[in-house]
Structure 1
Amino acid sequence: MERSKAIEGVKVADFTWSVVGPLTTMVLAQHGATVIRVETHTRLDFVRVSGPFKDGIAGIDRSAFYASVNANKYSMSLDLNKPKGLEVVKRLVKWADMVADSMTPGKMKKWGLDYEGVRKIKPDIIYFSTTLHGQHGPYAGQPGYGPQATASAGLYEVTGWPDGPPNFIYCAYTDSISPYYLVTAIVAALARRRKTGKGIYIDHSQVEAGVIHLGPAVLDYTVNERIASRIGNRDRYAAPHGCYPCLGDDRYCVIAVRNDAEWEAFCKVIGKPEWVKDPKFATQMARKENEDELDSLIQEWTKDHSPEEVMIAMQAAGVPAGVVQNPKDLLEDPQLKHRGHFQWLEHPVIGLMPYHGQAFRLSKTRVKWSSLPPAWGKTMSISIRKSWVTRTMRSRICWPRGLSRSKPASQWRAPSR
């Protein structure tokens, strides 16, 4: 018999878009929540029309990006600027246990759907908002996306080479880490409501989620007035510490040595035990002073070995090392296969594609994909039948006044940022 999921029965009215909000609600959906996304053709979620696309052809149901952050959800399309659309969404709010919002502060209030407005409809509602800077303060009204949040959090300043400008981090870093702060807060809110019967408002700042990851750098400035900046692949407290070229086309392995025991083991692996007593490398301070020479010598060894060989040999000796993997490597990775990280599902338009599981496993329940990402307009009637709308309302929900209607795929264009 299949066990109930961790938060099965929790109902979410999802007004989020882009990445952070949808990723958060997808985690909830994976663990049993019923999530209904409210979308609109008047301002299409740009992720729906962001690549990669199936066969390189753009379309509202051809984006693997959208699919990857919206599985296990239902969707309906409404125009909240029309009375009929607002009527439907207020009934959705009354049905829900939780409301999710990632719009610019003030937008939901315009429709009476901010926390204060929603709690009049559903007093025990749990409501979370996620924006770049949170709901209050001098920058609260600034719109933007993950790259702007990551820059504001200071993470680009410490990424790159010493003689170059700040570098972007792949895949807007705050987009990837913010959902898990939100999920933690949501679980706490659910536990509180179970005890007290009361709802709560969660105000989340994506910038602050990034700032937390600069804790040591902020502390260093606080106590030493030293501003952290770019040091490439190096580390102030480890040597060697770098990404070394290996045998093969564009293949690398990262190695980090933080103490003398690891250094001795490292020297044995590469067949240079004499380096342990060499005055240029015998201590961590000496290795830092001669790091350019040391890195060159290490590369002469790694270039004759595959990154897998380097990693296995180093790890066997107790030296931290890891292969720099590309997407092909990830799909073939034996550890990820063992844990069942990727789950393959047949998307109706894209075809067979992998979906990410969660990085954690619950011992009593297991993440299971129960539905594909919602195709435009395809799950609207399903979500209505599963929730709160009567047969009469179902007949009205297909009426175009107040409700969004889809355009032909050829007419869709990604909205300007």
Structure 2
Amino acid sequence: MSSEPARDALAGLKVLDFCWVVAGPMATRYLAVHGAAVVRIESRHRPDVMRGANPYRDGVPHPERSGYYAWHNTDKYNFSLNMRHSRAREVVHRLVRWADVVTENFTPGTMEEWALGFDDLRKIKQEIIMVSASMLGRGGPHAAQPGFGIVLTSLAGLTHVTGAPGRLPITPFGAYTDFIVPKFIVAATLAAVDHRNRTGRGVYLDFSQLEAVLHFVTPTLLDYAVNGRVKEREGNRHPAAAPHGVYPCRAEDSWCAIACFTEGEWAALCDVLKRPEWARDPRFARLVARKAHEEALDAALAERTREWPARDLMVALQGAGVPAGVVADSRDLFEDPQLQHRGHFTVVDHPELGPHAVDTPEFHLSRTPFRIRWSAPLLGQHTEHVCREILGMSEAEYLELAAAGVLE
């Protein structure tokens, strides 16, 4: 086995990144931590909205103190560029000649307004790859609809099925779709890179975030397509399981999720909780009966689970073959021994935030593992480096552009 250090999986890949907010930056961060050189375009005149997102270090609002922004932007070069300036386009053209991939997730038409659509980019570099990851994709009556993940979550049908029966729909925590979409963007981008490497031809990826998310509501779509049924809100319940819910435990605000899909799991739960009479109770003896008496089942189960510490209950149930898991909070996740073993969280040192945790990819490549090299950048932190070292500008040229207000 070679003793030479492993080469980064995406070493040599060059990405010009216009993405902003969450879904796009999450996708390009996957590329960056696997060795791609990602130059992220941002402007002091219109910084990424996530620089204004909680939480802030010490609760002090500041564009350089957002933990949200810092979490999703490690290992990127930040290049400040005033896209309203008449000379900004000439700088972008030079960056396009350098890049293999150009990424953006603006409302369709934004890049074209800057004369930076795919047809424009191909005139600069024939083999360029462009990834446009808009909310709804290009074309169609609603293509130009702007919005964020919370809007997309509703459009994808996820909000409709979230919540208690007969109650108002509830949006899943955060911009839920932003944590689904990046995986699809990365896969599609790498497929395009592979195609370019094999054929020498550039590719335009018209990516619809909505259509990517629909993969996660496939059962509800199939049920409607085949049976004409529209899924309604069921709270924590499941049509093929009982019990299926989150139950209170001994400590205040501590909970354990429990799901029994088979009669064997139900019998094991009754044994762990020392309630053998439940297995003989005609209301609970079989799944059909339990579904018919679910409120009584949940009440009886909650009364018993309150006697247990949440983690002890989880361990006991899992040991008996019953699907169960504690409801973890942020502290629990940082203390989780499995996540610690895999090194899921690592610490980076940020110029304003100081040392802080960030997550790492959920997959580990055995021969070319990811590397977290540096923290999220300050706005414009690498502008001079990109101009001088990547684009080969002279000091005089760089200073002239800066003085003219192009690099803001």
In the alignment, does 2:106 pair up with 1:77? Answer: no
Q: How does 1:246-265 map to 2 (within 5 A)?
A: 246-265=249-268
Equivalent residue in structure 1 for 2:374, among 371, 377, 381: 371
The yes-or-no answer on 1:299 pairing with 2:302 is yes
Secondary structure at the counterpart of residue 116 of structure 1: helix
2:387 aligned partner: 384
2:64 partner SS: coil
2:277 aligns to what SS in structure 1? helix
CA–CA distance in 1 between the matches of 2:11 and 2:82?
29
2:80 and 2:407 in contact (8 A); partners too: yes
One-letter identity of the residue aligned with 1:167 = I
Q: Does 1:103 align with 2:95?
A: no
SS of aligned partner of 1:55:
helix
Are 1:232 and 2:243 an aligned pair? no
Does residue 311 of the first structure (1) align with residue 314 of the second (2)? yes
- Aligned equivalent of 2:404, options 400, 403, 410: 400
Q: Take 2:392 and 2:112, find their aligned partners in 1: how far apart are those partners? A: 24
TM-score w.r.t. length of structure 1: 0.94
Residue of structure 2 equivalent to 1:337: 340
- Structure 2 match to 1:164: 167
Q: Tell me the equivalent position of 2:17.
A: 14
The offset of 1:55, in angstroms, is 1.2
Does the CA-based 8 Å contact 1:155-1:210 persist in structure 2? no
Residue 385 of structure 1 deviates from its aligned partner by 3.7
Code of the aligned partner of 1:166: P
Rate the CA distance shift 1:390–1:402 in 2: closer, same or farther, 3 A: closer
Kindly provide the amino acid, as one letter, of the partner of residue 399 in structure 2: S
By how many angstroms is 1:126 displaced?
Answer: 1.1
Residue 66 of structure 1 deviates from its aligned partner by 0.6
User: Is the Cα contact below 8 Å between 1:86 and 1:402 reproduced in 2?
Assistant: no
State the partner residue of 1:245.
248
Residues 173 and 210 in structure 1, CA contact (< 8 A), matched pair in contact too: no
Q: Partner of 1:89 in structure 2? A: 92
Structure 1 residue 8, shift from structure 2 partner: 0.9
Alignment partner, residue 39 of structure 1: 42
What residue in structure 2 maps to residue 216 of structure 1? Answer: 219
**Is the deviation greater in 144-153 or in 214-223?**
214-223
How far, CA to CA, are the matches of 2:336 and 2:289 in structure 1? 37
For residue 28 of structure 1, what is the aligned residue in structure 2?
31
Q: 1:306 to 1:400 in 2, by over 3 A?
A: farther
Which moved further from structure 2: 315-324 or 359-368? 359-368
User: Given residue 402 of structure 1, which amino acid in structure 2 is its aligned partner?
Assistant: V
- 1:373 aligned counterpart, secondary structure: coil
Q: Within 5 Å, give how 1:120-199 maps onto structure 2.
A: 120-199=123-202
**Kept in 2: contact 1:115–1:201 (CA 8 A):** yes
Cα RMSD over matched residues? 1.2
Report how many residues are paired.
404
How far apart, in 1, do the equivalents of 2:198 and 2:300 lie?
62
Distance in 2 separating the partners of 1:267 and 1:49? 50
Which amino acid in structure 2 is aligned with residue 215 of structure 1?
Answer: T
* Conservation of the 8 A alpha-carbon contact between 2:42 and 2:379: no
Given that 1:247 and 1:303 are in contact with CA atoms closer than 8 Å, whether structure 2 keeps it comes out as: yes
The 2-side partners of 1:228 and 1:80 are apart by 45
Deviation per residue, 1:247-266 (Å, 9 max, x gap): 11210010010011111111
Q: Distance in 1 between matches of 2:262 and 2:316?
A: 18
1:290-310 per-position Cα deviation (integer Å, ceiling 9, x unaligned): 111111111111101111011
Any stretches of 5+ residues in structure 1 without a counterpart?
A: 405-417
Contact 2:257 2:326 in 1 (8 A): yes
CA distance in 2, matches of 1:23, 1:266: 40
CA distance in 1, matches of 2:278, 2:30: 49
Which consecutive residues of structure 2, in runs of 5 or more, have no partner in the other structure?
none
Any conservation in 2 of the 1:246–1:305 contact (CA below 8 Å)? yes
For residues 22-77 of structure 1, give each alpha carbon's deviation from its aligned partner in whole angstroms, at most 9, with x where no partner exists.
11111100111000011112222110111111111111111011101110000111
State the distance in 2 between where 1:347 and 1:401 align.
27
The Cα of 1:163 is off from its aligned counterpart by 2.2
Answer yes or no: is the 8 Å Cα contact 2:163–2:234 preserved in 1.
yes
SS state of the match for residue 164, structure 2? coil
User: Which of 96, 114, 117 is the matching residue for 1:114?
Assistant: 117
- Contact 2:149/2:178 (<8 A) preserved: yes
Give the residue type in structure 2 aligned to 1:81. R
- SS in structure 2 opposite 1:189? helix
The answer to which of 238-247 and 43-52 deviates more is 43-52
Which residue, 39, 49, 52 being the options, matches 2:52? 49
Deviations 1:302-322 (A, max 9, x none): 101111011101110111111
Aligned equivalents of 1:94 and 1:220: distance in 2?
Answer: 49
